[in-house]
Amino acid sequence: MQTKIKFPAKRFMLLLFLCSSSVILLQNYDLSESSSFMYNIVSMLLGLAVSFLFFVPSIIIKRKTDLDFMSFAHIKTPSAIIFISSFYCAYFVYTAEYFLLRYMDMFSQKLNSEANIYAVALFLLAVCIYAAYKGTNAIARCSIFIFLFALVSFILIFTGNISNVKADSSVYSFEGSTDSLLNNALFFTTPAFTAVIFATLSGFTKNFRQRQVLFTTGFLALLFGLIMFFVAFALGKYSTAQSYQGFLLSKSAHIGGVNGFDSLYLSLSVLIVLLVISLLLTCIGKSVGKSGSLSTVVVFTAIIYVLFICSGYFNSVKKILTDEYIFVFFTLTASVVIPSVYLIVFGRKDYD
């Protein structure tokens, strides 16, 4: 049930902002332990700048034609669209697996190590099937409430850690290796997966402005920076050897007699992951030209679940599905390389 009614681009960018926040919520040993706070900030700004550039080809197509890249490709190369659709479907399945595996790792480590992760994953995917069937507009409307919940959660976590902040001049030092800079920047480039979502679903939006992508990236940098600040100053060196530093930050928060907001953090994490996977399933439907098709959503969800089971039995499969280098390369191809080829082949005269 995919609505044909366009919704405001601002709401869509809010949705992409929430999806991007999943990267920092599920962060676990992705940043170099030897890098200083300022070094990590530079890495973050570099990574998000690259992530912003991933949007450029699709922004050009949207601005010139008011179409998303996928619709543009369907119109310009109807005979070859099966190959394009196949690639993007593979990308969205990979990305859904990437975030599902990362979330389930956090779930088993921090919430319930005794739970059957296969049953939990099946339940999560069942919810995503329903959300994807309702369509992009419905997901975007839900994102407003999730954003409000996220805003309250982060405010409580940050204010609850203010009393824990300690001045440490060494944190301001600019220390780190070139390898650390590149590794950290790569991690902060992973939010670029939202550029592929934009390339697929932006045709459903109206009143799009290029600056909206810039503002979204800026707010994302602010959120990432605040989390990194409190991890560095409120948790200190203790956090460098700990898993899921964001979760640890939520546990250390306290306001008056209320201690720990880890339940908010875990609730927000599952809501964001549900949002991401649901949106990726709608992207699959759009890619194959069957938006709102329940059968399409169910089939690809089944593929995601089978891969999840395989990753549990074969560690090599899990490593491939959660490898940042593969993920970013895959994202680069989907958001920049293929759309750029279309821009070059179908020049300015073909936009109108």
CA separation for the pair 55, 64 (Å, rounded): 14
The reply to whether 67 falls in a domain is yes
The reply to whether 108 falls in a domain is yes
Range of the domain at 218: 7-351
The reply to whether 272 falls in a domain is yes
Q: What is the pLDDT of residues 216-271, one digit of tens each?
A: 999 999 999 999 999 888 887 777 777 888 888 988 888 876 777 888 999 999 99
Strand partners, 34: none
The reply to whether 347 falls in a domain is yes
Name the domain count of the chain: 1
pLDDT of residue 1: 47
Q: Is the pLDDT of residue 335 over 80?
A: yes
The reply to whether 287 falls in a domain is yes
Q: Cite the DSSP H helix spans in the chain.
A: 9-25, 37-53, 56-65, 69-76, 81-106, 117-134, 136-159, 178-187, 193-201, 210-230, 245-252, 262-287, 294-313, 315-321, 324-332, 338-345
Q: How far is CA 74 from the centre of its chain?
A: 26
Greater confidence (168 vs 25) lies with: 25
Greater confidence (166 vs 129) lies with: 129
Q: How far is CA 261 from CA 41, 49, 64, 253, 306, in A?
A: 25, 31, 46, 6, 34
pLDDT of residue 86: 93
The reply to whether 240 falls in a domain is yes
The reply to whether 121 falls in a domain is yes
Q: Is the pLDDT of residue 172 over 70?
A: no
pTM over cut 0.85: yes
CATH number of the domain at 285, please: 1.20.1740
Q: What is the mean pLDDT of residues 56-69?
A: 91
